[in-house]
Structures are given as structure tokens and as C-alpha cells.
């Protein structure tokens, strides 16, 4: 059993099945990310971020539009949802034949989610959130996890979309 979540690998891909019927597909490297959101088998959005190009491309397939947003400058402090989280190891369990440690997560007002980390890869295998009454609200199951660099073509801009560029924010004086 782990005592703290291990570092995730720098490059991987995964499919996440949601208990509400949605599916998320991820392709991750140290400097690029692609996230696809589906409801049923219908693609809802694609987000491709590239920290070398300093941009995030948000595609909306239904409208065939892409919003291109600049990333904050390097070194800019960005809020992270786990910044205030306290993770407490609870038990070791097997998920899909893989040993995983379950952690309770407290963001300052009691345990509001459980996370199972794969003890071998460091990746999530399951996340379960709870509503304010403590009733399970959403479960995310990580499937088809592949460790290693995804093909570079998955990070290419999608053709056939009308682009809208958001100007970089002006610096305050």
C-alpha cells in the first residue's frame, strides 16, 4: 500500500468512463495534452494544449469552431484544484488485476472524493466524488491505460474548423 500518490508518468494515454454515461479520452506528454469529451458516442469537445506554442485550442465539433486561447506566461502562478487537498491512504485494492491504493481526499471540509492510484504506474484507476450529503455523485474509471509517448499526430490542429483567437491579456500597471 502506498503512503502518498506516486508521480504520474510523463507520457500516457487513457480512456475514462464516467458513471453518468460520458467518456473522456486523454493523450498526455510533458508539454502537450489532448482531451476528448463524449456523451454516449457523440463527440462534444476536443481540447489540445501545447506549452511550447503557449496555446490552448478548444474545438466544438457541432459548430465546427475552434477557440484559440494563449496560455499564461511561464512562471505564472496558476490555481490547482489539489493545492489545498489532504490525501489519506485508506486501503489497498485490486482494480482490473492491478494493485491500487485508495486515498480519501479532503479539500478542507471533509472527505469529498476517493481516488485509487495504480501502485505500479502512478496513474488514477478510479475517482469517486460525493455530494454534500455524502451520497456518491460521480465515478470515473480509467481504462485502456497505455504508458509511453502517444503518436505526435494526435496533437495536430483539427482541419475544417473556423478559428477564433483570443488576444493575450494585457499586463496591469
For residue 96, what is the domain's CATH number?
A: 2.50.20.10
> 16 and 23 in contact (C-beta within 8 Å)?
yes
Grid coordinates given for 145: 491505460
For the chain, what percent of residues have pLDDT higher than 90? Answer: 65
Count structural domains, the chain: 1
Residue 89 domain-assigned (yes or no):
yes
Residue 4 domain-assigned (yes or no):
no
Note the pLDDT tens digit of each residue in 41-70.
Answer: 899 999 999 999 999 999 999 999 999 999
Residue 65 domain-assigned (yes or no):
yes
CA distance 159 to 165: 16
Note the pLDDT tens digit of each residue in 138-155.
Answer: 999 999 999 999 999 999
Residue 7 domain-assigned (yes or no):
no
Amino acid 170: pLDDT: 72
Q: Which residues of 136-160 are buried (b: 16+ CB within 10 A; e: fewer)?
A: eeeebbbeebebebbeeeebeeeee
Note the pLDDT tens digit of each residue in 96-134.
Answer: 899 999 999 887 776 689 999 999 988 989 999 988 788
Amino acid 106: pLDDT: 86
Interacting residues of 153 by C-beta distance below 8 A, sequence separation 6+:
none
Residue 25 domain boundaries: 12-72+84-165
Per-residue pLDDT band at 81 (split at 50, 70, 90): low
Residue 1 domain-assigned (yes or no):
no
Residue 78 domain-assigned (yes or no):
no
Residue 136 domain-assigned (yes or no):
yes
Amino acid at each position: 500500500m502506498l503512503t502518498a500518490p506516486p508521480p504520474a508518468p510523463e507520457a500516457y494515454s487513457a480512456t475514462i468512463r464516467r458513471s453518468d454515461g460520458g467518456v473522456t479520452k486523454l493523450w498526455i506528454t510533458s508539454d502537450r495534452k489532448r482531451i476528448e469529451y463524449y456523451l454516449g458516442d457523440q463527440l462534444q469537445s476536443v481540447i489540445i494544449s501545447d506549452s511550447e506554442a503557449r496555446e490552448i485550442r478548444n474545438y466544438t465539433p457541432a459548430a465546427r469552431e475552434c477557440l484559440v486561447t494563449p496560455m499564461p506566461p511561464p512562471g505564472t502562478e496558476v490555481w490547482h484544484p489539489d493545492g489545498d487537498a489532504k490525501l489519506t491512504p485508506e486501503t489497498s485494492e485490486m482494480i482490473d488485476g492491478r494493485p491500487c491504493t485508495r486515498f480519501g481526499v479532503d479539500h478542507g471540509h471533509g472527505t469529498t472524493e476517493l481516488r485509487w492510484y495504480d501502485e505500479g504506474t502512478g496513474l488514477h484507476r478510479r475517482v469517486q466524488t460525493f455530494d454534500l450529503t455524502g451520497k456518491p455523485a460521480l465515478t470515473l474509471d480509467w481504462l485502456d491505460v497505455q504508458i509511453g509517448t502517444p503518436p505526435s499526430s494526435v496533437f495536430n490542429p483539427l482541419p475544417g474548423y473556423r478559428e477564433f483567437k483570443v488576444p493575450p491579456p494585457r499586463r496591469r500597471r
